[in-house]
Amino acid sequence: MKFNVLLIDRSLSQIDEVKGIFTQSGMVDCLYEASSGTQGLEILKNKEVDLIICNPALSDMDGLQFLNVLQTMPNHSHLPVLLISSDAQIEYKAKAFELGAQDFLTRPFKPEELLIRAKNLVRLKSTYEELHRRIRELEKTAHIDPLTGLFNRKYLSDSLKTELIRSRRYRFTLACLMIDIDNFKTVNDSLGHSVGDHLLKELAQRLSHQMRGYDFAARYGGDEFVVLLPQSSKGGSLALAERLRQVVDSELFLETEGKNIHLTISIGIAAFSGSEVSSEEQILTISDRALYEAKQVGRNCIAIAESFDQFRVEPPKGLYRRNYRKYQRYPFLTTVKVVDPQMKEYTVAYAINISYGGLAMYAQKAIAEKGHVQVWISLTDPNGKLRDERVEGVVRWVRQLNDHYGFGIEFEELNIKDHPLVLNYIQEAERLSP
Ligand code: GH3
Ligand code: MG
């Protein structure tokens, strides 16, 4: 292995002596000469050097000063320095070692001794550089999710901490988008885990393509991703989220066995300034809650946190309404009674539409959001008799209109199946719908 040497000495005869030894050995590729410390430092800036051999008595600076300056040069501070002197005291040597010199040779010396030491120092330098390279690689992979190549959860957590501090100091809004693939388990179960993996990679790529300079995407785990948007307003983060949602919704992910595989995502957004939230866990929890709301509404949509416990679902824009509603809604214009079991009172409401998932209706009185209610629905049975069926549900949304309220009730998981008259009405509407 050949190497490059920088020789710094004010004595031309001593330079010639060392140069002669190296030239004869055939070990050296390039040998650069400098008659002063300043000239030596200048050469270092422009040339690749593996070893510095220096006489401590320089014309413009002392050897210790030279070592001091070298220590401040980030790309060169690790270069081995071999000092050659005829009269250095032990105290001087100790100081030089402290300042980073690696070896000391006293004149007169045998040529072989110089060569052995030079070779040893160059070997140590390449071991150091290799180690450094591996550490950098390890540091990088420790932050990366191996499947998708995005940052991992650990790196996200560290970055969130830093971004919250920056957001507090510079008073900007930090938006955290929690993204989850819709019904991914079904895709995975029907097409297999390796196709699932491929789809996760594809999605990661598409998310990355939409990022700006300071934004970044991480895999939070499973089919969940987080995108962080520092210095992004609520409106800005909604716009980006909608773009992400549309990109995923509109593009073909995979064609396999004659089937076109499409994916959709739901997104929960928490956009707050660092002074409003107390920790990175809190902003993650809020975006996760928003994501939950988006899933509840029917997936392939976005929910944004208005405050820590209030969420607004944004309907998808443009043509992308494919999977917005989980269930088709059918007109259902009738009067129903809504009973709050705790209050033990009922409200008369006017139903507008119905689906397998729930009911939308109007009423004069407000009904508490998120409350469990019973809805009494009157329908005629096969014998032409009017009968009441009681369906359990949760108030999912409430809107205040001019002098009345609109609200949506979500049926408790599939309990509609236990109500033959309601079920029959929906099935009939389904059959008749175009
Ligand atoms: P939802 O719309 O409610 O999110 O429904 P979902 O089916 O996507 O449910 P959920 O997000 O809870 O399920 C995540 C699924 O993602 C479970 C598992 O089958 C799949 N999954 C998680 N990690 C991996 C992975 O590394 N590779 C693959 N192929 N699948 C994964
Ligand atoms: Mg999912």
CATH number of the domain bearing residue 197: 3.30.70.270
Coil/strand/helix, residue 31: strand
Same domain, yes or no: 32 and 112: yes
Q: Which residue has the tokens 């819709």?
A: 182
Instruction: Give nearest CA residue, ligand 1 atom 4.
Output: 182
- State whether 320 and 171 are in the same domain: yes
Provide the phi-psi class of 335: left if phi over 0, else alpha when psi is between -120 and 50, else beta.
Answer: beta
Predicted local confidence at residue 324, as pLDDT: 43
What is the atom index within ligand 1 of the atom nearest the CA of 221? 23
Domain co-membership, 244 together with 310? yes
Range of the domain at 101: 3-130
The finding on whether 223 has its CB within 6 A of some atom of ligand 1 is yes
Q: Is 65 in the pocket of ligand 1 (CB under 6 A)?
A: no
**Given this model, what pLDDT does residue 322 score?**
43
**Which residue lies with its CA nearest to atom 24 of ligand 1?**
222
| 281, 246: one domain | yes
pLDDT at 345: 77
Which-ligand-closest: CA of 221? 1
> For the chain, what is the domain count?
3
The position carrying tokens 């009730």 is: 409
Q: What is the CATH number of the domain that holds 116?
A: 3.40.50.2300
Among 153, 188, 292, the mutation site with the greatest number of ligand 1 atoms within 8 A of its Cβ is: 188
Looking at the DSSP assignment, which residues form a beta bridge with residue 345? 340
pLDDT for 344 equals 72
Residue 139 CA to ligand 2 center (angstroms) comes to: 30
Q: Which atom of ligand 1 is nearest to the CA of 147?
A: 26
Q: Let me know whether 47 and 90 are in one domain.
A: yes
Q: Does residue 199 sit in the same domain as residue 158? A: yes
Looking at the fold, whether 290 and 149 belong to one and the same domain comes out as yes
Q: Which of 37, 29, 1, 5 is nearest to 18 (CA)?
A: 5
Q: Which amino acid is at 389?
A: E
Backbone φ and ψ of 342, nearest 5° = -75, -40
Residue nearest to atom 30 of ligand 1 (CA): 196
Pairwise CA distance, residues 6 & 47, whole Å = 9
pLDDT tens across the length of the chain (434 residues): 899 999 999 999 999 999 999 999 999 999 999 999 999 999 999 999 999 999 998 889 999 999 999 999 988 999 999 999 988 889 999 999 999 999 999 999 999 999 999 999 999 999 999 999 999 888 878 899 999 999 999 999 999 999 999 999 888 999 999 999 999 999 899 889 999 999 999 999 999 998 887 899 999 999 999 999 998 888 889 999 999 998 998 887 887 777 788 899 999 999 998 889 989 999 999 999 999 998 887 788 899 998 888 888 876 664 333 444 567 778 888 889 999 877 777 888 888 888 888 898 888 888 888 888 999 998 988 888 888 899 999 888 887 777 788 888 988 765 677 888 988 888 888 877 66
Q: Domain with 398 in it: what CATH number? A: 2.40.10.220
User: How close is the Cα of 179 to the center of ligand 2, in Å?
Assistant: 9
- pLDDT, residue 271, reads 95
Q: Do 93 and 112 share a domain, yes or no?
A: yes
Position 315 scores a pLDDT of 66
User: Which amino acid residue places its CA nearest to atom 18 of ligand 1?
Assistant: 185
Q: What's the pLDDT at 321?
A: 39
Ligand 1 pocket mutation, candidates 185, 194, 245, criterion most atoms within 8 A of CB: 185
Cβ of residue 299 lying under 6 Å from some atom of ligand 1:
yes
Q: Do 122 and 147 sit in the same domain of this protein?
A: no
3-state secondary structure of 163: helix
Report the atom number in ligand 1 closest to the C-alpha of 180.
4
Among 80, 95, 130, give the residue marking a domain's end. Answer: 130
Question: How many alpha carbons lie under 13 Å from residue 69 in its C-beta half-sphere?
Answer: 14
Q: Note whether 241 and 303 are same-domain residues.
A: yes
Instruction: Give residue 413's pLDDT.
Output: 61
CA distance 290 to 175: 13
**80 plus 162 within the same structural domain:** no
Please name which of 358, 349, 419, 426 lies closest in space to residue 394, comparing C-alpha atoms. 358
Q: In this structure, are 112 and 189 located in the same domain?
A: no
